């Protein structure tokens, strides 16, 4: 092969590629941008929805997924990731997208149950046999207990963990804001490492073997047990915890531009259908449809509105710069 | 039989006198080998053993997954666009720098080196700031329905950026060492610029180019940090192989994850072998004739 032949070959190859590139199929597609622990749920659900959509309209629809920390995903959508629907860990992250004008105000009233088609809660994952006898939130602040939870600044799940602990302390006899702050401060003193996302924390606890207890989404805890062996871990459901409502929304600006509003809206509505509820239950989310059976343990649940007056307020008080979380971790670091 | 042995012994004693005593040499060699074993060979073996943990069937099935195939395709497309572009740029830049003097030459060299010194994550955040919806060009791109970040063009751009210096950096010293005598001779003998380039310059740097292309390609396919920021992590669409390795690992799909990792590791091994062969040619200084 001489040099000129080589150059021609390279040029021809690049040209062929350049012509092949725009040939990506132009089928009906939806992009669902979601948070970390929903990978398995939405893989399953999107499949069911594609079949449902084909049956009712005869159209083929492909649902693409993207997963990551809830706050990070919201940021990506704001920066131009073309999500038709967002299914995030908490309303605050969808509010952030709304503030940039991509989602119309009042999005949370568009679907029932605050636009949360299923709920979850925060439970404890402990090592088999529960060697440290962890039963309730109280046990987490005992000296010598190592607690694994992600960073509330970046992870939606971590914010639920934090607020669940705060809410618990608030509900105790003589509980007030000061006592709750003291409780949560003690709790975070027992945290050796703050991962950036829920799945990262699960891996820290499960794979790297760090910590005595993992604060986790209920479904994440069950998934870890199913994937990595019931002989190694067990779930402790505390007597009370927070009701986590991960909301969903259509990204108005994107669906109007792409012409996918109808299918995007139907996608979210289908989450409320018996089939959608059944799939949620199968992946250890708590269905809102009471007729759908669930194997999950009963416990006392409080909502963020009851305990904190909504996400905007909770976010501002606890997780903004210089907020309560910064104060207590600052205190924990100074110790 | 005995004669060569003797010469050999004589030579090695002679060597040891001018280098280090034997125990020191042994210690150095052993340290290097242990280090290599711990940090390179063991992890590599671990990747392959994990990939084949559940047998060849499962391994092959993992590689046939649509998402895996899509990631392989995307990685190949990215490399196939980034490498030729960097090839053209690298040869041009190296030619300009090695054969001519012009104002701003040092600045150009510094700029070529920039991707080596900037963290890929930062360079990519800059892409998001430029091409993202909130970025400088965001409104323009959106109005014209051009997607750059969180799509294939963004990934290619990011890859081009990080692999930018490889070919130019490889060629500049080579071309500087060769000097301009041959080109000047060609010009004096009546060749025009293009003829000089294709008949004189290019054959001289052929092996250097291939060497640069191999390194550039390895990096283009293996890049993680740079593409992570601009990918958007859409399944089967904007996940390159290194990104998919992480995602699958986080999904507890260890076999699939390590199966893709093993492909990347094989790419590294092939690169290594190709590099060794080429280095031999380069060291000899005499490029092999191919006709």
3-state secondary structure chain B: CHHHHHHHHHHHHHHHHHCCCHHHHHHHHHHHHHHHHHHHHHHHHHHHHHHCCCHHHHHHHHHHCHHHHHHHHHHHHHHHHHHHHHHHHHHHHHHHHHHCCCCCHHHHHHHHHHHHHCCHHHHHHHHHHHHCCCCCCHHHHHHCCCCCCCCHHHHHHHHHHHHCHHHHHHHHHHHHHHCCHHHHHHHHCCCCHHHHHHHHHHHHHHHHHHHHHHHHHHHHHHCCHHHHHHHCCECCCCCCHHHHHHHHHHCCCHHHHHHHHHHHHHHHHHHHHHHHHHHHHHHHCCCCCCC
Fold type of domain B54-285: MetI-like fold (1.10.3720)
Summarize pLDDT for B46-83 with one digit per residue, the tens: 888 888 888 888 888 888 888 889 999 999 999 999 99
Q: What is the C-alpha to C-alpha distance for residues A127 and A235, in angstroms, rounded to an integer?
A: 9
Mean pLDDT lowest among B13-22, B29-38, B77-86:
B13-22
Q: Please give the residue of chain A at the shortest CA–CA distance from B239.
A: A66
For residue B251, which residues of chain A lie inside 8 Å, CB to CB? Answer: 39-40
Inter-chain contact B150–A65, Cβ cutoff 8 Å?
no
> Residue B113's pLDDT is what?
87
User: What six digits make up the tokens of A211?
Assistant: 């910590």
| Interacting residues of A123 by C-beta distance below 8 A, sequence separation 6+ | A216, A218, A221, A235, A236, A237, A238, A241
Tokens of A96: 């952030």
| CA nearest neighbour of A154 among A222, A70, A223 | A70
Nearest to A228 among B132, B133, B252 (CB): B252
CA distance A291 to A269: 17
> Can you tell me the distance from the alpha carbon of B134 to that of B205, in angstroms, rounded to the nearest whole number?
44
**Complex ipTM:** 0.71
Lowest mean pLDDT among A15-24, B78-87, B114-123, B193-202: A15-24
Name, in order, each residue with C-beta under 8 angstroms of A113's C-beta and a sequence gap of 6 or more.
Answer: A245, A288
pLDDT by residue (tens digit) across B205-247? 888 888 889 889 888 988 888 888 888 888 888 889 999 988 8
**Mean pLDDT taken over chain A:** 86
To 5 degrees, how large is the angle CA B290–CA B275–CA B123?
120
Q: How many Å apart are CA B272 and CA B264, to the nearest integer?
A: 12
A76: which chain B residues are within 8 Å (Cβ-Cβ)?
Answer: 150, 232
Indicate the average pLDDT of chain B: 83
Question: Is the model's pLDDT at B150 over the cut of 80?
Answer: yes
Render pLDDT for A37-81 as a digit per residue (tens, 0 to 9): 888 899 999 999 999 999 999 889 999 999 888 888 898 999 889
A256 C-beta neighbours (distance < 10 Å), count: 11
Give the pLDDT of residue A252. 95
Share of residues in chain A with pLDDT > 90 (%) = 51
Residue A7 pLDDT: 56
CB contact under 8 A, B237 and A68: no
Percent of chain B's residues with pLDDT above 90: 11
* pLDDT at residue A250 greater than cutoff 90: yes
Q: Which residue of A has its CA nearest to B73?
A: A21
B84 and A100 within 8 Å at the Cβ level: the answer is no
On the question of pLDDT at B195 being above 50, the answer is yes
pLDDT band at A9 (very low <50, low <70, confident <90, very high): low
Name residues whose C-beta falls within 8 Å of residue B230's C-beta, 6 or more positions apart in sequence: B124, B127, B128, B149, B150, B154, B155, B157, B158
Residues of A in contact with B128 (CB under 8 A): 79-80
* Structure confidence by residue, pLDDT tens digits, B257-276: 899 999 988 888 888 888 88
Shortest Cα distance from B278 to chain A (angstroms)? 16
Of B80, B202, B203, the CB nearest to A13: B80
A67 CB within 8 Å of a chain B CB: yes
CB A17 within 8 A of CB B80: yes
Q: B215 near B267, Cβ under 8 Å?
A: no
Strongest mean pLDDT among A168-177, B69-78, B195-204: B69-78
Q: Say if the Cβ atoms of B135 and A79 lie within 8 Å.
A: yes
Cβ of A82 within 8 Å of Cβ of B206? The answer is: no
Q: How confident is the model at residue B4 (pLDDT cuts 50, 70, 90)?
A: very low
CA–CA dist A322, A20 (Å, integer): 52
Q: Which helix (H) or strand (E) holds A300?
A: strand A300-302
Q: What angle do CA B255, B162, B194 make, to 5 degrees?
A: 125
Spatial contact of A103 and A33, defined as CB atoms under 8 Å apart? no
User: A118: pLDDT confidence band, cut at 50, 70 and 90?
Assistant: very high
Got the DSSP string for A198-213?
Answer: HHHHHHHHHTS---SE
Q: By mean pLDDT, which of A23-27, A98-102, B91-95, B118-122 is the weakest?
A: A23-27
- CA pseudo-torsion sign B169, B170, B171, B177: positive
Strand order in the sheet with A248-250: A61-68, A28-35, A85-87, A248-250
Tokens read off for A46: 């999107």
Per-residue pLDDT at B7: 43
Contact B290 A2 (CB under 8 A): yes
Nearest to A119 by CA among A303, A287, A310: A287
Backbone angles phi and psi of B251, in degrees to 5: -95, 15
CA distance A67 to chain B (A): 7
Q: How many CB atoms lie within 10 A of CB A44?
A: 14
pLDDT the model gives residue A46: 94
Q: What pLDDT score does A48 carry? A: 95
Measured between CB atoms, does A13 come within 8 Å of chain B?
Answer: yes
Percent share of chain A, pLDDT over 70? 91
Inter-residue contact A251 to A265 (CB < 8 Å): no
Token digits of residue A220:
């994440």
The DSSP H or E segment spanning A127 is: strand A118-127
| Burial of B17 (C-beta count, 10 Å sphere; 0-12/13-18/19+) | exposed
- Indicate the domain borders of chain B: 20-51, 54-285
pLDDT per residue as tens digits for the range A35-47: 888 888 999 999 9
Establish if A74 touches chain B: CB-CB under 8 angstroms: no
Q: What is the predicted pLDDT for the residue at B14?
A: 47
Taking CA atoms, what residue in A is nearest to B82?
A14
Report the chain A residue with the minimal C-alpha distance to residue B236: A64
**Count of alpha carbons within 13 angstroms of residue A231, beta-carbon side:** 0
> Stretch B13-28: mean pLDDT, rounded?
73
Q: What are the C-alpha distances in Å from A300 to residues A22, A238, A297, B140?
A: 54, 9, 10, 52
* Interface size between A and B, measured as CB pairs under 8 A: 76
Instruction: Say how far apart CA A43 and CA A49 lie, in whole Å.
Output: 10
Interface of B with A (CB under 8 A): 77, 80-81, 84, 87, 128, 131-135, 138, 142, 145, 147, 149-150, 152, 198, 202-203, 206, 232-237, 247, 250-252, 290-291
Do strands A28-35 and A85-87 pair parallel, antiparallel, or not at all (unpaired)? parallel
Alpha-carbon radius of gyration of chain B: 24
B242 is written with which tokens?
A: 């290194």
Task: Give alpha helix (H) positions in chain A.
Answer: 3-20, 39-57, 70-78, 91-99, 112-115, 156-171, 177-189, 198-206, 218-228, 252-258, 261-270, 274-282, 304-308, 311-314, 324-334
Interface with B, mutate which of A2, A15, A18, A81 (most B CBs under 10 A): A81
Contacts B75 to A, Cβ<8 Å: none
Looking at residue B2, its pLDDT comes to 41
């Amino acid at each position: 092969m001489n040099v000129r032949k080589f150059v021609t070959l390279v040029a021809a190859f690049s040209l062929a590629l350049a012509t092949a590139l725009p040939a990506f199929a132009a089928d009906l597609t939806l992009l669902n941008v979601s948070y970390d622990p929903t990978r398995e749920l939405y893989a399953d659900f999107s499949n069911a929805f594609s079949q449902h959509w084909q049956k009712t309209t005869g159209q083929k629809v492909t649902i693409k997924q993207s997963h990551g920390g809830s706050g990070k995903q919201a940021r990506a959508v704001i920066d131009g990731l073309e999500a038709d629907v967002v299914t995030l860990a908490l309303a605050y992250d969808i509010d952030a997208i709304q503030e940039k004008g991509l989602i119309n105000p009042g999005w949370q009233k568009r679907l029932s149950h605050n636009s949360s088609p299923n709920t979850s809660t925060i439970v404890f994952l402990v090592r088999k046999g529960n060697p440290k006898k962890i039963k309730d939130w109280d046990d987490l602040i005992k000296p010598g207990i190592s607690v694994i939870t992600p960073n509330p600044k970046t992870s939606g799940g971590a914010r639920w963990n934090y607020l669940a602990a705060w809410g618990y302390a608030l509900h105790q006899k003589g509980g007030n804001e000061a006592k709750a702050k003291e409780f949560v401060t003690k709790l975070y003193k027992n945290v050796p490492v703050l991962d950036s996302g829920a799945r990262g924390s699960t891996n820290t606890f499960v794979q790297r073997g760090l910590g005595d207890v993992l604060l986790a989404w209920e479904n994440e805890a069950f998934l870890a047990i199913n994937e990595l062996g019931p002989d190694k871990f067990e779930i402790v459901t505390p007597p009370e915890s927070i009701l986590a409502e991960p909301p969903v929304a259509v990204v108005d600006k994107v669906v109007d531009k792409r012409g996918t509003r109808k299918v995007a809206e139907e996608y979210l509505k289908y989450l409320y259908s018996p089939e959608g509820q059944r799939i949620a239950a199968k992946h250890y989310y708590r269905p809102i449809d009471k007729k759908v059976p669930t194997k999950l343990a009963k416990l006392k649940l409080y909502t963020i509105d009851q305990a904190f007056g909504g996400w905007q307020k909770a976010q501002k008080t606890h997780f903004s710069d210089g907020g309560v979380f910064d104060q207590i971790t600052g205190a924990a670091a100074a110790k | 039989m005995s004669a060569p042995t003797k010469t050999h012994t004589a030579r090695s004693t002679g060597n040891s006198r001018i280098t280090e005593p034997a125990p020191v040499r042994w210690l150095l060699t052993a340290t290097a080998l242990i280090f290599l074993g711990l940090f390179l060979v063991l992890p590599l073996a671990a990747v392959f053993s994990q990939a084949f943990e559940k047998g060849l069937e499962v391994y092959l099935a993992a590689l046939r997954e649509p998402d895996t195939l899509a990631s392989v395709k995307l990685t190949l497309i990215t490399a196939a666009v980034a490498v030729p572009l960097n090839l053209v740029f690298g040869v041009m830049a190296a030619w300009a720098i090695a054969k001519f003097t012009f104002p701003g030459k040092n600045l150009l060299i510094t700029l070529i080196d920039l991707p080596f010194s900037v963290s890929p994550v930062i360079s990519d955040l800059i892409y998001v700031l430029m091409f993202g919806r909130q970025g400088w060009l965001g409104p323009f791109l959106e109005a014209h329905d051009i997607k750059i970040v969180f799509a294939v063009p963004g990934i290619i751009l990011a890859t081009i950026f990080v692999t930018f210096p490889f070919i130019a950096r490889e060629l500049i010293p080579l071309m500087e060492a060769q000097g301009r005598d041959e080109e000047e001779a060609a010009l004096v003998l009546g060749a025009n610029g293009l003829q000089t380039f294709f008949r004189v310059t290019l054959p001289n740097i052929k092996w250097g180019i291939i060497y640069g292309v191999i390194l550039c390609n390895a990096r283009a396919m293996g890049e993680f940090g740079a593409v992570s920021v601009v990918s958007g992590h859409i399944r089967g669409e904007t996940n390159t192989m290194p990104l998919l390795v992480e995602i699958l690992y986080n999904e507890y799909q260890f076999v699939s994850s390590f199966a893709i990792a093993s492909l990347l590791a094989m790419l590294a091994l092939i690169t290594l072998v190709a590099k060794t062969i080429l280095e031999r040619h380069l060291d000899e200084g005499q490029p092999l004739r191919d006709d």
